[in-house]
Amino acid sequence: MRTSLNISTWNVGGLISENHDKTTDPSFLAEFKNDDLIFLTETHAGYDSIVSFEDFQYYPFCRTKSKNNRYFGGLGILIRNSIRKGVKFQNDGTSEYQWLKLCKEFFNFKRDIFICIVYYAPKCSIDLIEILEKDIIEKYGKKGEIILLGDFNARTGNDCDFIEGDNTNHIPLNNSNYNLDILNERRASCDNTVDSRGKDLLDFCICNQIRILNGRILGNSTGKHTCFKYNGCSVVDYVLASEQLFCNILYMCVSDFKATFSDCHCKLSFKLLASFTNENTNSNLKDFPTRYEWNEEKSISFQNAFAHPAIQNELKNFKTEDISFDSAGINQATKTIHSLFEKVCKITLKKKKEKSEN
């Protein structure tokens, strides 16, 4: 029986480049060995990129290629196989943000938790904070608690994200619709700067009773810097949560900056109180036949995709592998073949959208 859920977010500044494939780097993968849910921003990958993490299912949300034939931005969500049944995509979002639901029945929460990964680019044509607020007011805030995490490119300094001295003295008698701010402790931050987007984020927090974890939670009580650039350090990566969730968050950590794994950002991690049993994944393969749309016009490209160097390398390893003809060996061989076909599907076929489960 598990008693907590480990969640992390990281702006990795690209997963795969000509000189470094982080998805095959043991040191990079070791960063996530204890995580159950991983939210990556700025993956710089496309739907045709081959990304695989052992024991995880990977869900990319990518931008189209730029004019110079490169990928920028993009999100990558990794869900550990053993908890996949408890996580539902909500089909709300783009390559800049995505909503998921952590099911109360699976994790034994009091209410469902709606968690959103965010990459709010420095130059963005949309008001992402306004979009998130609309989602919360019209949909998710009524159904459960909220967690937002990722790179907001917003600097909030030490300013309040709650109403100081909040009380009901100004409220008419017998009006029980006003919810007082529960949390009235100021947070700490190593970054004293407040910019315009930071002010918008603070107003968003105040209006929706959502609070910043950075600088408030055991493990990051000082509000450590999350971004390191040549012209200075800042806090732009956050974990935000509903006030009611604070008693369920055991700790939050900002890892040390590692230039090998990100251009300028630190990994953020936190532990959420839960109660669940890991699913046995040996006989519970992913339902990939229902996740891709077959197109006869793609039949040739589907076959040609098996000539991809990465696929050929895996096929070669599979052919030379010593497979035992017992239950464990056959299950492992089936899992390997399944993984190969799924990678080919990612290269050539369109992914079916999962139906939202309310």
Read off the pLDDT of each residue in 187-213 and give the average, rounded to a whole number: 96
pLDDT at 335: 75
Q: What percent of the chain has pLDDT over 90?
A: 62
Kindly report which listed range (111-115, 237-241, 338-342) carries the lowest average pLDDT score.
Answer: 338-342
- Residue 325 pLDDT greater than 50, yes or no: yes
93 has pLDDT over 70: yes
- The answer to whether residues 285 and 334 touch, using CB atoms and an 8 Å cutoff, is yes
**What is residue 116's predicted lDDT score, i.e. its pLDDT?**
98
Residue 286 has pLDDT above 80, yes or no: no
For the chain, the three-class secondary structure string (H helix, E strand, C coil) is CEEEEEEEEEECCCCECCCCEHHHCHHHHHCCCCCCEEEEECCCCCCCCCCCCCCEEEEEECCCCCCCCCCCCCEEEEEEHHHHHHEEEEEEECCCEEEEEECHHHHCCCCEEEEEEEECCCCCCCCHHHHHHHHHHHHHHHHEEEEEEEECCCCECCCCCCCCCCCCCCCCCCCCCCCCCCCCCCCCCCCCCECHHHHHHHHHHHHHCEEECCCCCCCCCCCCCCEEECCEEECCEEEEEEHHHHHHEEEEEECCCCCCCCCCECCEEEEEEEEECCCCCCCCCCCHHHCEECCHHHHHHHHHHHHCHHHHHHHHHHHHCCCCCCHHHHHHHHHHHHHHHHHHHHHHCEECCCCCCC
Give me the mean pLDDT over the 309-314 stretch.
Answer: 72
Please tell me which of 7-11, 47-51, 160-164 the model is most confident about, judged by mean pLDDT.
7-11
Best CA proximity match to 301, nearest among 344, 271, 355, 270: 344
- What are the tens digits of pLDDT across the range 64-84? 888 888 899 999 999 999 999
Please calculate the CA angle 294-298-303 and round it to the nearest 5 degrees: 105
Bridge partner list, 343: none
Residue type, 232: G
Domain ranges of the chain: 2-276, 288-351
CA distance 162 to 186: 9
Residue 290 clears pLDDT 60, i.e. is over it = no
Q: Which CATH class is domain 2-276?
A: alpha beta
AA identity, residue 26: P
pLDDT at 294 over 90: no
Q: Which amino acid is at 337?
A: I
- Using left for φ > 0, alpha for ψ between -120 and 50, and beta otherwise, residue 91 falls in left
Mean pLDDT in residue range 115-136: 95
Give the model's confidence band at 358: pLDDT under 50 very low, under 70 low, under 90 confident, else very high: low
User: Where residue 317 falls among pLDDT bands split at 50, 70, 90?
Assistant: confident
More confident position, 18 or 269: 269
Which pLDDT score is estimated for 22?
Answer: 95
The whole-number pLDDT of residue 357 equals 53
8 Å CB contact between 183 and 217:
no
pLDDT value for 285:
45
200 pLDDT higher than 90:
yes
- Give 46-58 pLDDT, tens digit per residue: 988 888 899 999 9
- Which residue matches tokens 């695989």? 52
State whether the Cα torsion 153-273-89-202 is positive or negative.
Answer: negative
What does the alpha-carbon distance between residue 45 and residue 101 come to, in Å, rounded to a whole number? 24
pTM for this prediction? 0.77
Mean pLDDT score across all residues of the chain: 87
**Region of poorest pLDDT, from 185-189, 258-262, 286-290, 354-358:** 286-290
- The CA distance from 67 to 256, in Å, is 35
225-233: Cβ within 8 A, 24+ apart: 225/190, 225/191, 225/254, 225/266, 226/254, 226/265, 226/266, 226/268, 227/264, 227/265, 227/266, 228/257, 228/264, 228/265, 228/266, 229/264, 233/190, 233/191
Residue 103's pLDDT is 97
pLDDT of residue 148: 98
